[in-house]
Amino acid sequence: MASTSETGHAKNVANLNTMISRCIGYGARYAPTNPLIIIAALQTLYTNANKALIALNTAKTPYTKAVNARQLIFAEMEKLATRILNAFDATYEVTDKMVDDAKTIIRKIRGERKSKRILNPLPEDPIQISVSQQSYDSQVQHYNKLVALVTAEPGYDPNETELKPDQLIAFGIQLQTVHNAAINATTPYLQAIANRNKELYTEKTGLVDVAAEVKKYVKSVKDITLAEFRQISGLRFRRPPKKK
């Protein structure tokens, strides 16, 4: 399901299309001197804004897929870390201090995971995305420290295949690979968001402000009746809510 903000962006673009049709319907009476609101400029603005929405949707698909894959493997990593701890604790000659060190690392992994969960899994806010990435970066480092700790102990060699040192190292490589894929998918997604925002919300030249200028102009034209003005006055153009 599309978010309220996503619906709002698309509604802004759809309403501009309707506004252009109404302005064309005014015929020769619609003759602004402002170059931003002549019919040709409005049509170009609509085309560019619509392309920006399409490009964002296109970029969001691989981003969503990569982020979902990362969430799954990192959830698996947290469970694996607990099993590693138990296997390490059960290893002959492993001291309580070594086990405590492993527990400290796992608490850090869980802390990063808890911090990550409060974030929207698919945010548009670059700051949220950056915080999320840093959380995953930290989890990778904590996992690698845990693996280094347990594999440095000669007695650590459990019978369970997935807990053996070479498998733990291989899983860490896979973890980093999936994380890198999410990072790489994020770049075009953020670029698409920025372009969408430029087309729709740039001060004075963006879709929302230009639409407001159209309304002001039409309201000033004596030959355009109040009933005709109401054809566009009810069209809503809204900016997304500001982040608190």
Which H or E run includes 61? helix 39-89
User: Binning pLDDT at 50, 70 and 90, where does residue 128 land?
Assistant: confident
Q: What is the pLDDT of residues 172-229, one digit of tens each?
A: 999 999 999 999 999 999 999 999 999 999 999 999 999 999 999 999 999 999 999 9
Q: Which residue has the higher pLDDT, 103 or 126?
A: 103
**Tokens 């740039």 identify what position?**
202
User: Are the CB atoms for 139 and 109 separated by under 8 Å?
Assistant: yes
Give the length of the chain: 244
Taking the C-alpha atoms of residue 244 and residue 241, their distance in angstroms, rounded to an integer, is: 9
Query: Left (φ > 0), alpha (ψ -120 to 50) or beta: where does 121 sit?
Result: alpha
Burial class (CB in 10 A: 0-12, 13-18, 19+), 42: buried
Regarding pTM above 0.75, the answer is yes
Taking the C-alpha atoms of residue 111 and residue 88, their distance in angstroms, rounded to an integer, is: 21
Taking the C-alpha atoms of residue 49 and residue 243, their distance in angstroms, rounded to an integer, is: 23
User: Are the CB atoms for 214 and 45 separated by under 8 Å?
Assistant: no
Q: What is the pLDDT of residues 57-77, one digit of tens each?
A: 999 999 999 999 999 999 999
| Residue 3 pLDDT exceeds 70 | no
Query: Both ends of the chain: CA-CA distance in Å?
Result: 24
